[in-house]
Structure 1
Amino acid sequence: MDDNILGLLKLRIKRGINLAIRDARASDPYVVVKMGEQKLKTRVIKNNCNPEWNEELTLSIKDVKTPIHLTVYDKDTFSVDDKMGEADIDLKPYFECVQMGLNLTQLPNGCSLKRVQPGRTNCLADESSCIWQDGKIVQEMILRLRNVERGEVVVEIQWVDIPGCKGLSGVEL
């Protein structure tokens, strides 16, 4: 195992909302997630501007400052796939919650640890909260896609500690 890995980040790509039309009447969207050298993608959903992927992608985290870049594409058969917008995921508020390291087991399910407002430094379309859920901290966010006329993607993130890895304690955000 790589000694530099701090842990894993589960990224659930839930769905797209009102995505741009890139074919005759709809699009065939899929999502590509990049972080450093890592590149993962979802399956293609045919003829749908409101696709339900509900796919889990897992990234290994070596540096908490490395951004996660998400791009939505329209799959084309005979030409280059069309870009349907992009967004960056701001992990700092989430990692701050994970780092708190409080005795969170005493918290009730659904307890909000932190609220993150949309702003210039993130791609949030709406307020997002870091929530204590089933023994884990999860954050669901609606990302407004940039460089496109419309579209949003719903994503959920969750940290996974790996035995033998450093984890986030003591890591400067």
Structure 2
Amino acid sequence: MENWLGLLRIHVKRGVNLAVRDSCSSDPYVVVRMGKQKLKTRVVKRNVDPEWNDLLTLSVTDPNTPVKLFVYDKDTFSFDDKMGDAEFEIGPFLKAVKMGFQLQGLPDGVIISKVEANRQNCLAEESKIFLSNGKVVQDMVLRLRNVECGEVELQLQWIDVPSSKGL
């Protein structure tokens, strides 16, 4: 715990136009990995546009470790089917979080920075890092790789841990 920089709260909001893996639908869930940590959402039955609204919290020790996301279709009698993957860097988000005191007094909705979608990242559209209720948050829509279609919407939030090294 002494090597923690803080906690990354990932709000896995929803999936959009996910691939069909069973006869006419899928039972999707998301696995999030960062280093050796692995967390997953609940399964949403028979839905290619699932609303998870799950909060997953990762401890961050190295800001350069990418967050990897995998979407699977839950199967009962066989291995779960892959429905795509994506990854993202948290560096731009942590850079905005570090601005801390400079952001005090600014109104909600102020955009601190933007991350452009490009061939090197999995962003489906520009990602905004902004203030919400006095906290730095980042909204992102990730386009899934290694699959015919699908996107996952997330929101990141930073949680300082009193006993951590901090940013």
**With structure 2 as the length reference, what TM-score do the two structures score?**
0.97
Give CA-to-partner distance per residue, 1:82-138, whole Å, 9 cap, x none. Answer: 000000022111111112234212111011000111012311000110011111100
Matches within 5 A, 1:130-149: 130-149=129-148
| RMSD of Structure 2 on Structure 1 (CA) | 0.8
**DSSP 3-state at the match of 2:8:** strand
- What is residue 160 of structure 1 aligned with on the other side? 159
Residue type of the partner of 2:84?
G
SS of 1:24's equivalent in the other structure is coil
2: CA distance, partners of 1:122 / 1:51: 23
Which stretch of the first structure deviates more once superposed, 10-19 or 100-109? 100-109
Question: What is the Cα deviation at residue 26 of structure 1?
Answer: 0.5
Q: Does 1:109 find its partner at 2:108?
A: yes
Unaligned runs of 5+ in 2: none
Alignment of 1:68-107 (within 5 A): 68-107=67-106
2:89 and 2:61 mapped to 1: Cα distance?
A: 16
Give the equivalent residue in structure 1 for 2:61: 62
Counterpart residue identity of residue 41, structure 1? K
Q: Contact 2:64 / 2:89 at 8 angstroms: preserved in 1?
A: no
CA contact (8 A) 2:127 2:140 kept: yes
Distance 2:92 2:3 in 1: 22
What is the distance in 1 between the residues matched to 2:118 and 2:93? 15
Residue type at the aligned position of 2:88: I
CA distance in 2, matches of 1:119, 1:97: 20
Q: Does the 8 Å CA contact 2:10/2:157 hold for their aligned counterparts?
A: yes
Contact 2:65–2:89 (8 Å) recurs in 1: no
The one-letter code matched in structure 1 to 2:103 is L
Q: Distance in 1 between matches of 2:5 and 2:129?
A: 20
Deviation at 1:165, TM superposition (A): 1.1
Q: Give the unaligned 5+ runs of structure 1.
A: 169-173
TM-score by length of structure 1 reads: 0.94
Question: How far apart are the structure 2 equivalents of 1:120 and 1:162?
Answer: 34
Does residue 42 of structure 2 align to residue 39 of structure 1? Answer: no
Aligned length: 167
- Letter of the 2:89 counterpart: D
2-structure distance, mates of 1:92, 1:4: 17
- 1:164 to partner: Cα distance: 2.0
